Amino acid sequence: MSSVYRRLPRPFIAMAPMKGITDTVFRRMLCEIAKPDLLYTEFAWAEGLCSPKPTRFKQQLEFHTTEHPIVAQLWGRSPAAFERAAAFACRLGFDGIDINMGCAVRKILKRGTGAGLIATPKAAAEIIAAVRSGAPDLPVSVKTRLGMNEVSVEHWCGFLLEQRLDALCVHARTAAQGYGGSADWNAINAVIALRNRISPDTVVIGNGDLSSTDHALSLHARHPVDGFMIGRAVLLDPYVLQRRDSAVRRDRASAHAVSPARCISLFREHVALHRRIWGKRRHAGVLKRFVAVYLAGIPEYTQLRRRLLRSETHAEMLAVLSTAAAKARQDRPAHADLRMHETNSPLESQSFHVLEPSHKEKTDECRVG
């Protein structure tokens, strides 16, 4: 079976994994708005998946079949946990396993996980080998940074390429930079040159300061990666994933240029889908982080945002959005684009791959001894 990375267009667009953001609900909404070529889950804690009570960690790996191709991203420190977690992800039907070696959040670094693994190459290699052992039929990739405190393409990225990964995604900053400064795309070119010399079959994905799919594609002539990964820009405008040449591209390039009624309708779909998929397993309060994603820039945004932030349940948020949608339709000018559907989304009739906890969790096979 060929690697999913070999079947993707060149250059392909991937949606970055973001904890608490890219759950199955948001991924499904992105699939409706502008589906990227490759999706990643939230990063799931390998040790948590192998704990006696793994249910809440398993939630991070729930997905719907329409999200394919989709890669499960794991983070942690224990090779034994990674092996068992990879085997579990394989059984769920993912298209690949990605190892997080790039998260630069301080508490993650202190545990020697995420980008903290840059300082311990031996541990990183053991984790890669463990994932391969747990999921021998799936491609294995790593998402990382250019180095810990300084750019270390030859030492660190070269070391990872020596592991003959199926794919290597590099955020063009060091761990010490976090998200400060500017992404160093010239260093990505150095990674490509190193790949060509050490591991020609490894797919290289570039990440950092990409504002849209069109922006990414415009960089390809100067930075010929196999794929681009877009992350934070989607939180400013989910329409940035659309391709200029896409057959399904809307007439308007930005969510802020789409009718207010459509923006409100999309967020209402998101809230309704969140309630249907998660129910009481995830509190409605997490949806407040998406208010600006869908609604920033529309008329009366400040007042609508205030009402939504005061809401504590799915029902309260839906009531606020329904009222706002009715007003937006009433206020919409006669020349508004009527081709953009605002109700009866196909999401309403689709079933999801939900990992319902059994009466007694069978965790022995995924427990770290």
| 215 lies in the same domain as 327 | no
Q: How far apart are CA 351 and CA 62, in angstroms?
A: 12
Taking 90 as the threshold, does the pLDDT of residue 17 lie above it?
yes
The domain of 18 spans 4-249
Q: Catalytic residue positions? A: 103
| 263 lies in the same domain as 243 | no
| 100 lies in the same domain as 120 | yes
168 beta partners: 142, 204
Taking 50 as the threshold, does the pLDDT of residue 23 lie above it?
yes
Which residues have CB under 8 Å from 310's CB, separation 6+?
none
pLDDT grade, residue 101 (50/70/90)?
very high
| 16 lies in the same domain as 111 | yes
CATH of the domain at 223: 3.20.20.70
Q: How far apart are CA 231 and CA 207, in angstroms?
A: 8
Tens of pLDDT, residues 305-319: 999 999 999 999 999
Check: CB of residue 199 under 8 Å from CB of residue 161.
Answer: yes
Q: How far apart are CA 96 and CA 90, in angstroms?
A: 8
Structure tokens at 223: 């930075």
| 13 lies in the same domain as 116 | yes
Give a yes or no: residue 348 inside a domain. Answer: no
| 223 lies in the same domain as 281 | no
What is the pLDDT, as a whole number, of residue 242? 87
| 150 lies in the same domain as 272 | no
| 296 lies in the same domain as 197 | no
Tens of pLDDT, residues 202-243: 999 999 999 999 999 999 999 999 999 999 999 999 999 987
Q: How many domains does the chain have?
A: 2
What is the pLDDT, as a whole number, of residue 249? 36
What is the pLDDT, as a whole number, of residue 18? 95
Domain end residue (candidates: 249, 274, 301): 249
Query: pTM to 2 decimals?
Result: 0.87
Taking 70 as the threshold, does the pLDDT of residue 359 lie above it?
no
Domain end residue (candidates: 227, 249, 271): 249
Taking 90 as the threshold, does the pLDDT of residue 189 lie above it?
yes
Tens of pLDDT, residues 238-273: 999 987 654 333 333 444 468 899 999 999 999 999
Mean pLDDT in residue range 124-139: 98
| 189 lies in the same domain as 62 | yes
What is the pLDDT, as a whole number, of residue 257? 64
